[in-house]
Amino acid sequence: MNSKLKSILINIALFVVVVFLAIKVVQSIKAPIDFGNEKSKREAQVVQRLKDIRDAEIQFKQANNKYTSNFDSLIDFCNNHMIPVIMMVPDPEDTTFTKTINDTIDYVLVKDSLFGKRTNFNLNELGLVPFSEPATQFEIHDSIIKRGGISVPVFEVKTPYEVYLATPGASFTEKEWNTRVQNVKAEMEQIDKYAGLKVGSLEEASTDGNWEKL
């Protein structure tokens, strides 16, 4: 092999190596961004579902003085229970025209009050975690705790990362995706935070979601 041909082959080999390394660098930068974007997209829908469950649970408690840990009961309640439509009107006995009273003007189903304006809303999917395959229900619990000698109803609904991040994003192999899921799980556990999304608490009288505290 003459020196000119040898030089050409060396240059080609070096070019291939440079391109390969460049691709690896781009992938190392792009992969966490893609994962973060996909995680955020899924979590937006999971959070919305948890907000819907919270709204339904609050209405259930107002009617029953307790929460429920049964999605069938919660869905049946939304489908069949009527709640008043309240309007604030001037107090007819107030000559100063500064006071108002609450006047019931109608009754509507809970589902219409909470979800009536939502396009393509399916109440039967209320308990299902978006993006879970196979379809998986949220973990749901209710209890009674004591605060200052008073019994206080509480509830908690949650789902871990492994449920709504079970299937890989389009640009990931299953191994790469699962490694990243386990990494974010470990990060949350290291700071003693729930590795997933949840609303409510069985330890305190709170209806907050943990996404509101991050």
- Phi–psi pair at 209, nearest 5 degrees: -95, 150
Residue 159: inside a domain: yes
User: Mean pLDDT over residues 161-185, rounded?
Assistant: 93
Q: Is the pLDDT of residue 24 over 90?
A: no
Q: Is the pLDDT of residue 144 over 90?
A: yes
Query: What digits encode the pLDDT tens for the residues 62-92?
Result: 999 999 999 999 999 999 999 887 777 676 6
Q: Is the pLDDT of residue 12 over 90?
A: no
**pLDDT at residue 84 in the model:** 84
**pLDDT at residue 112 in the model:** 95
Residue 102: inside a domain: yes
**pLDDT at residue 6 in the model:** 62
Residue 3: inside a domain: no
Q: Is the pLDDT of residue 16 over 60?
A: no
**pLDDT at residue 14 in the model:** 59
- Which tops the pLDDT comparison, 16 or 85? 85
Residue 24: inside a domain: no
Q: Check residue 171 and report its DSSP letter.
A: T
Residue 111: inside a domain: yes
Q: Is the pLDDT of residue 23 over 90?
A: no
Q: Is the pLDDT of residue 127 over 80?
A: yes
Residues facing residue 85 across a β-bridge: 106
CB of 141 within 8 A of CB of 186? no
Q: How many domains does the chain have?
A: 1
**pLDDT at residue 62 in the model:** 94
What SS3 class is residue 18?
Answer: helix
Residue span of the structural domain in which 145 resides: 42-212
User: Mean pLDDT over residues 3-28, rounded?
Assistant: 55
**pLDDT at residue 9 in the model:** 56
Sign of the alpha-carbon torsion through 115, 117, 119, 120: positive
Residue 52: inside a domain: yes
- Which tops the pLDDT comparison, 19 or 204? 204
End-to-end CA distance of the chain: 65
In this prediction, residue 105 has a pLDDT band, given cuts at 50, 70 and 90, of: confident
Q: CA dist 85 to 88, 102, 113, 128, 186, Å?
A: 10, 10, 9, 29, 47
Residue 69: inside a domain: yes
Residue 14: inside a domain: no
